Structure 1
Amino acid sequence: MHIRRKTFDDLLRVVFSRILRHGLQVEPIPSKGANKELFGVVLELTQPRARVSRTENRGRIFSALGELFWYLSGSNSLKFIEYYISKGYEAEEGTDIVWGGYGPRLLNKSNVNQIHEVVGLLKRNVSSRRAVIQLYDSGDLAGFYKDVPCTCTMQFIVRRGFLHMYVSMRSNDAYKGLPHDVFAFTMIQELIARELGVRLGRYKHAVASLHLYDTDLKKAEAFMAEDWQTKRMMPPMPMGSQWPSFKLALDAEEKIRNGYSVDVDKINVNDYWKDIIRLLQIYNVTRGTINRDNLRRIVFLRKSMKSSFYDQYIRKKSDKFYQDQLDLNLESDEYDEGER
C-alpha cells in the first residue's frame, strides 16, 4: 500500500481511515496491548517541511522537538527524554539507559558517527546508493531488552539536486509514534540537505506493521472529525551548513532543561534557530509553577518569535497553562501555590 500526500495531516487522515476501516486485529494480543494493523505500508510526504500537524489533536511540536534534540545530542538517557515525553520509553533495570535510544546509534555506533559518514560519502559521490544509517541491529534481535529501535534504516539519495530520504520501520504506532518520527527524520533530512547544498526532496516512510492500539481508536476518530486545517509548512532552514547553529541550540537546550537562564539574543544563531530555542524556553516555563510571572514570560517569548508558524502551538500550550491556573481557583494577584 502506497499513500502519497503533500502534508502530514493529509497523510495521517488517510492512515487513520485505512486502519480503522481495513486494519486487522492482531492475534494473539501483543505484550503492548490490543491493536489493529496494516502490513507493508509506504507513506510519502512530498513536502517534508509540512511535517507538523496543524490540528488540535496531533499538533505536538514541543515533544517532537525534544525527541529530535535527544537523538542528536547522542544521548540515550531516560531522564532526558522523560522531560519531554513522560511515557513511551523504558530504561534497563537499575539504569537510566534506554537500550533502543537512537542517539548513540546515530552518532557513535561502533565508534562511527553515521550522520557524519553519510554526509562525507555523498560529498565524495553524490549519486551513491550506500548512504544508509543502520539503527536496528543483530544485537537487538538476540538480546532481551525493554526497548529496541522501531527504525531499521535511514537511506539518503541525491537525485537531480534533491535529497530524498527513505526510512524503513519494523513497527510504527500510527497515533503516538508516527507524528514524532516524521518530524525528527525530516528535520535530519533537511539538516543534511543544507550541509550538502542541495534542495529538500521527498520523504518516504516504509512500515512493516503500521498499527493503532485499541486505546487510541476513539482518539483517531476524533482527529478525523476535526475541521481541515491550513496547510502551512515550517519555515525553511537557512542556506548553508546548519550544524554550527544546531550545536549552539543543543547547548542552549541542555541549559534550559536543567533550569539555567538562557539569553537567546546573545546566542550566535540565526532567527530560525532562535525561534526553536524560544520554543524550548516556553516548554520549560509551562513545566513550572503557575503564576503571573510565568504567564508574562510566555507572552514575552511568543511576541519575540520571528515566524508566525509556531503561534498556534504556543497559544495552545499557554491556554492549557492558563486553564490550569483557573482550575486552582486562586483569586489573588500572586499565584505561588500548586504545580502543573
Structure 2
Amino acid sequence: MDSINHLHKHGERIVVRSQEVCEVISYTIRIEKPLERVYVIPYRNNNIFSTIAETMWDLAGRNDLDFLMRYLKRANNFSDDGSKWRAGYGPRLRNWGGVDQINEVVRILTNDRSSRRAVMNLFDVETDYGDYIDVPCNNWLHFIIRNNFIELSVALRSNDIMWGFSGINTFRWSVLHEMIAYWTNSEVGRQFHYMASFHLYNRHYKRAKEISESMFRENLYDFGFSSPKFSTPLPKFNEKQLFWYELETRLRNREVIAQKEIESLNDELLINFLLLLKVYNSFLYGESRTDIAKLVSQLPSNDMKVAVIEFLTRHFKDKSFLRLNDNEQKFFDYYWSCY
C-alpha cells in the first residue's frame, strides 16, 4: 500500500506502447520478511492458484503454455507463437545454453559462503533485443550470504505493481529464495527489488485507489498465520518435481488421488501447492460448493488457505459456505470490515 501511495504522489502519467501508466523511475523496495509472500488485501483480487502454477512452471524450467494456460488464461497474450512464452524464466533459470543457474548458485555459495559471484542472469542479449511481444522484466538475481542470512537482490527493467510486483514477482522469487537458503544451510534474509520503471497501468487506477483508501492496516501474518516450509534436498528436487507434475496432471484429469499419495511428496510447501491446485481444479470443473468446501476444510490453516478462502468467498459472493476456525474467522471479520 505504501508503494501505491508513492506512485500516486510521485508518479508521472505517460503513454508507453499505447498504454497509459503512472510511472516512477529508479525505485527500490526492501522486503524484510520475504516468506510473508501471500497478499490478501481488500480490492486486490489476487489469484493464489495462478501464482502457484506460474512459480512451479518457472522452477521446472518450462515456458510452454500447455500447463500454464489452465491456471493463467492471459498467458497466451504474451506468446509470439501461441505455444510458448518466449520471455518465460524457466529455461533461462534451468537450462541456459546447458547451464542450470540454480545449481551453479548453490555450488558457488556452498564452496564459498562469502562469495559475491552468485548471480543468475535472465536477460538474453542474443535474443531479447528483438521485436517480440514480451521480453523479461526481471533481468538479474544476486544471492549473498552474510551472518548466515542469504539476501536476494532483484533488478528489473520494468515492473507493474499489480500483475508484476504484487501479482507474481515477490511470490516466485521468495520461493526460490527459500529454496536456495535451504540448499545452502542458510536462513532467509531480506529481498531488494530495484525497478528502473515502477508503474501502474491505467486499467488498474480505480482498483489502486480503492486499495489505498481502504482501512486495511494489519495483514494475515499479524494474525499468526505462516507459510509452509520447503524441505527437499537439491539432488532430489528434479525427481520430486516430476512426481508433482504427474500428480497435478492426474488431478487436472479428475482422477481421485488419495491424500496419502500427495503427502508422499514429503515437503510441506510442495504438498500445499498441490492441494491448492486440487481445490482450484474442483472449482474450474464447476463442482458443488459443498464439495469445494470439503476440500478447503482439509487444507492446513496457513497463509495459503487464507488466500483460498478470500478467492472463493469473493467469487461466490458468499461468506458463509466455508467453515472457518476461530483464527481464520477473526482475520476475515477484520478483513471484510475494511471494505
C-alpha displacement at 1:105, in angstroms? 0.8
Aligned to 1:205: 193
Match of 2:85 among 98, 116, 133: 98
What is the correspondence of 1:167-186 to structure 2 with a 5 Å cutoff? 167-179=154-166, 180-186=168-174
Q: Deviations over 1:67-124 (max 9, x none)?
A: 101111211112322222222542223x401110111111111111111111111111
Which piece of structure 1 moves more, 140-149 or 42-51?
140-149
C-alpha displacement at 1:254, in angstroms? 3.7
Structure 1: which 5+ residue stretches go unaligned? 1-12, 325-340
Check conservation: 2:279, 2:295, Cα contact below 8 A: yes
Aligned to 1:223: 211
C-alpha displacement at 1:236, in angstroms? 4.7
Check conservation: 1:245, 1:273, Cα contact below 8 A: no
Q: Tell me, yes or no, if structure 1 residue 318 matches structure 2 residue 312.
A: yes
AA in 1 matched with 2:69: E
239 and 146 in structure 1: CA distance in 2 versus 1, 3 angstrom threshold: closer
Aligned to 1:241: 233
Check conservation: 2:179, 2:230, Cα contact below 8 A: no
Match of 2:153 among 140, 143, 166: 166
In 1: Cα distance, 2:274 partner to 2:128 partner: 38
104 and 321 in structure 1: CA distance in 2 versus 1, 3 angstrom threshold: same
C-alpha displacement at 1:14, in angstroms? 1.2
AA in 1 matched with 2:217: W
In 2: Cα distance, 1:208 partner to 1:74 partner: 26
Which piece of structure 1 moves more, 29-38 or 236-245?
236-245
In 1: Cα distance, 2:184 partner to 2:66 partner: 34
190 and 32 in structure 1: CA distance in 2 versus 1, 3 angstrom threshold: farther
Q: Secondary structure at the match of 2:23?
A: strand
For normalisation by structure 1, the TM-score amounts to 0.83
Check conservation: 1:67, 1:81, Cα contact below 8 A: yes
Q: Secondary structure at the match of 2:197?
A: strand
Q: Tell me, yes or no, if structure 1 residue 279 matches structure 2 residue 276.
A: yes
Which piece of structure 1 moves more, 32-41 or 227-236?
227-236
Q: Deviations over 1:289-324 (max 9, x none)?
A: 2x43xx233222222122343333222333345459
Q: Identify which of structures 1 and 2 has the higher relative contact order when contacts are C-alpha pairs closer than 8 Å and 6+ apart.
A: 2
In 1: Cα distance, 2:40 partner to 2:218 partner: 6
Aligned to 2:5: 17
C-alpha displacement at 1:258, in angstroms? 4.8
AA in 2 matched with 1:38: V
Aligned to 2:335: none
Q: CA RMSD in A?
A: 2.2
Match of 1:189 among 177, 197, 200: 177
What is the correspondence of 1:86-125 to structure 2 with a 5 Å cutoff? 86-88=73-75, 89-93=77-81, 95-125=82-112
Structure 2: which 5+ residue stretches go unaligned? 319-339
In 1: Cα distance, 2:253 partner to 2:130 partner: 33
In 1: Cα distance, 2:111 partner to 2:49 partner: 36
In 1: Cα distance, 2:314 partner to 2:2 partner: 29
AA in 2 matched with 1:228: R
In 2: Cα distance, 1:92 partner to 1:197 partner: 40
C-alpha displacement at 1:225, in angstroms? 2.1
In 1: Cα distance, 2:135 partner to 2:108 partner: 27
Q: Deviations over 1:228-269 (max 9, x none)?
A: 233415425155637365554343334334544433322312
State the aligned residue count.
306
Q: Secondary structure at the match of 1:109?
A: coil
Check conservation: 2:139, 2:156, Cα contact below 8 A: yes
48 and 80 in structure 1: CA distance in 2 versus 1, 3 angstrom threshold: same
